[in-house]
């Protein structure tokens, strides 16, 4: 879709919105695209709709849940460009050498993928020019669709020596091996998949306390005073942390998984001593409940304009609102909010609530 759209100087969401007759970009779900959207694109491109649908992630990986795909962290803002997937510059260089359009590989969005299985390089999730989170766009250059950074526009290609290859071959091979094991377990429905999920959740569980910002992984790192970096703090306590991590932290997590839990992840209750220690230090996972607000929840009721006018007159005449006129603006707004809540709940008349002592701008204490 992006390769077609770039020939019109558009992004894929922009062209998709145009084809559907909408004035704004239309989001595209690579995992399971809408049938109507696939049909419109197939008609526009002159291809079979079933052939186009077979490019979707649901078709290629039918057993995968959404948690086993890469997802943005909270600081990654949604974009109308092609997508914020890690890429391999070696693969893009191969496209250019073959004289064809560059394209995004579906394997790059898998949660466990951090090393290219063809070139043995770390996937790139930050632009080497502007160092921002990489969002891939396509531009028509020399008659071919070539991938560029959506932020600064620099071409994503091999620059002769800047490629991020792992120099330790044993490290690369062990990481590739565990990548392949996870892929086989998830895509083929092996029983080992659940044990992978539990082990990964333990590694990124809060250390010792449910509200801790440090994950259990800190015990494996063995660095005194280590603090969890800001860009991965959102993964602490997540049920499926792997897809939320940047590439380098995904690599660290896979190495820790292999070192702590072993190569087999035996399901007979026997775990290596290090894994037992991590499990004991992992805080129990808590059910995330909505945080209580400062004001009680008030059920919204449909009232007539006359009823709202009556409530407003009640608030204006209330002694607490009259006394609040001498307060600072922020405190006055707080009193107003409390009075509105009380009025909507029917508790305004005769219910003065707790006594509050506040200070006015001239230093006098006012009882509310």
pLDDT score recorded for residue 353: 46
**Domain boundaries defined on the chain:** 2-149, 191-281, 305-367
Q: Are 200 and 216 in contact (CB under 8 A)?
A: no
The Cα 179–Cα 337 span in angstroms is 54
Phi-psi region of 259 (alpha: psi -120 to 50; beta: other; left: phi over 0): alpha
Residue with tokens 């006012």: 366
Q: Give tens-digit pLDDT for 237-264.
A: 998 999 999 999 999 999 999 999 886 6
Question: Among 230-239, 244-253, 329-338, where is mean pLDDT lowest?
Answer: 329-338
The Cα 246–Cα 232 span in angstroms is 8
Task: Report which of 352, 351, 348 is spatially closest to residue 313, judged by C-alpha positions.
Answer: 348
Return the higher-pLDDT residue of 343 and 303.
343
Is the pLDDT reported for residue 21 higher than 90? Answer: no
pLDDT score recorded for residue 295: 45
Q: Indicate the average pLDDT of the chain.
A: 81
- For 116, residues 6+ apart whose C-beta sits below 8 A from its C-beta are 88, 90, 91, 122, 123
Kind and range of the H or E element at 219?
Answer: helix 217-221
Kind and range of the H or E element at 69?
Answer: none
pLDDT score recorded for residue 266: 59
CA angle 28, 32, 38 (to 5 degrees): 65
Is the pLDDT reported for residue 61 higher than 90? Answer: yes
Phi-psi region of 54 (alpha: psi -120 to 50; beta: other; left: phi over 0): alpha
The Cα 136–Cα 66 span in angstroms is 21
Task: Report which of 225, 197, 230, 200 is spatially closest to residue 213, judged by C-alpha positions.
Answer: 230
Number of H helices, E strands in the chain: 14, 4
Is the pLDDT reported for residue 68 higher than 60? Answer: yes
Count of all residues that appear for the chain in the document: 368
Q: Give tens-digit pLDDT for 30-49.
A: 888 888 888 999 999 999 99
The Cα 50–Cα 238 span in angstroms is 36
Return the higher-pLDDT residue of 302 and 218.
218
pLDDT score recorded for residue 77: 41
Q: What's the average model confidence in pLDDT over 212-235?
A: 89
Both tokens assigned to 136:
């891939």
pLDDT score recorded for residue 164: 54
The Cα 187–Cα 60 span in angstroms is 9
Q: What's the average model confidence in pLDDT over 98-108?
A: 92
pLDDT score recorded for residue 297: 44
Return the higher-pLDDT residue of 267 and 299.
267
Is the pLDDT reported for residue 10 higher than 50? Answer: yes
Using a 10 angstrom Cβ sphere, with 0-12 exposed, 13-18 middle and 19 or more buried, the burial of residue 232 is buried
- pLDDT over 90 percentage in the chain: 32
Return the higher-pLDDT residue of 239 and 292.
239
The Cα 121–Cα 108 span in angstroms is 12
pLDDT score recorded for residue 91: 93
pLDDT score recorded for residue 348: 60
pLDDT score recorded for residue 251: 94
pTM: predicted TM-score of the whole model, two decimal places: 0.72
Task: Report which of 57, 39, 56 is spatially closest to residue 48, judged by C-alpha positions.
Answer: 39
pLDDT score recorded for residue 75: 42
């Amino acid at each position: 879709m992006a390769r077609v759209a770039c020939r019109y100087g558009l992004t894929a969401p922009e062209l998709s919105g145009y084809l559907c007759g909408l004035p704004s970009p239309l989001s595209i779900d690579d995992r399971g695209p809408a049938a109507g959207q696939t049909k419109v694109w197939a008609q526009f491109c002159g291809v079979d709709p079933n052939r186009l649908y077979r490019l979707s992630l649901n078709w290629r990986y039918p057993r995968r849940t959404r948690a086993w795909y890469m997802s943005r962290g909270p600081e990654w803002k949604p974009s109308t460009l092609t997508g914020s997937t890690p890429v391999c510059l070696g693969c893009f260089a191969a496209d250019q050498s073959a004289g064809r359009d560059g394209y995004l590989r579906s394997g790059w969005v898998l949660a466990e993928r951090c090393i290219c299985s063809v070139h043995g390089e770390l996937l790139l999730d930050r632009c080497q020019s502007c160092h921002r989170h990489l969002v891939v766009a396509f531009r028509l250059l020399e008659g071919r669709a070539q991938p560029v950074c959506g932020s600064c526009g620099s071409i994503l290609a091999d620059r002769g020596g800047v490629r991020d290859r792992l120099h330790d071959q044993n490290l690369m091979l062990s990481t590739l091996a565990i990548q392949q094991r996870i892929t086989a377990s998830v895509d083929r429905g092996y029983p080992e998949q659940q044990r992978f999920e539990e082990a990964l959740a333990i590694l990124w569980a809060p250390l010792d306390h449910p509200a801790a910002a440090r994950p259990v992984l800190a015990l494996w790192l063995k660095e005194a005073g280590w603090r969890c970096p800001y860009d991965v703090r959102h993964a602490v306590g997540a049920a499926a942390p792997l897809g939320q991590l940047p590439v380098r932290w995904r690599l660290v997590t896979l190495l820790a998984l292999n070192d702590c839990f072993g190569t087999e992840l035996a399901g007979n209750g026997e775990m290596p001593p290090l894994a037992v220690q991590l499990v004991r230090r992992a805080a129990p996972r808590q059910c995330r409940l909505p945080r209580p607000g400062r004001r009680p929840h008030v059920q919204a009721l449909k009232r007539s304009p006359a009823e709202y006018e009556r409530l407003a007159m009640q608030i204006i005449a209330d002694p607490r609102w009259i006394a609040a006129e001498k307060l600072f603006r922020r405190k006055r707004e707080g009193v107003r909010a409390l009075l509105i809540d009380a009025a909507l709940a029917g508790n305004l008349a005769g219910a003065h609530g707790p006594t509050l002592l506040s200070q006015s701008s001239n230093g006098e204490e006012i009882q509310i």
